[in-house]
Amino acid sequence: MTPAVLWLIAGVVLVAAEALSGDFVLVMLGVAALAAAGVDVLGAPLWLDAVVFAVVSLGLIAVVRPAIKRRMNNPRELRTNVSALVGKEAFVESEVDARGGRIRLDGEVWSARAQGDDVFEVGERVTVIEIAGATAVVGAGI
């Protein structure tokens, strides 16, 4: 068997084995083996294949793997239900003060109260600070 075929087999096996480990090391080595196979197909000597394998694998493990690990370990928070409403803008439907009022939030009318001593008139833009039960606590618009 030629070195290119051996590199190709090694690359495919390593990439496939990554499914078992999930640590992103084997896939990096597999891609490096595929790069070495590509260089060998172009007619490079075996020592150059090994150098390409080493450089590509070190580069992928040192640069690409940490970026992938960071992205996989820190997924974006998916806010749902009332927590998704916090930070949204709303429009005052009836005067809102510390005792109560009404706002239009995402096309629906909500009971609301102002945070602190603020008073918001009809038509003003406000920002939802929190949802307390069925009442939106609002503050000055952004």
Residues 66 and 119 in one domain: no
Which residues are registered as beta bridge partners of 131? 136
Which of 73, 98, 129 corresponds to the end of one domain? 73
Contact partners, residue 19, CB within 8 Å, separation at least 6:
none
Q: Are residues 61 and 96 in the same domain?
A: no
The total number of structural domains that make up the chain: 2
Same domain for 21 and 61?
Answer: yes
Task: State the Cα–Cα distance between residues 39 and 7, nearest whole angstrom.
Answer: 10
pLDDT at 69: 87
Question: Are 28 and 63 within one domain?
Answer: yes
The strand pairing partners of 114, in sequence order, are 138
**Domain enclosing residue 95, as ranges:** 81-140
Residues 69 and 7 in one domain: yes
Taking the chain (142 residues) in runs of 10, the rounded mean pLDDT of each run is: 87 86 87 93 93 94 90 75 86 92 92 91 93 90 65
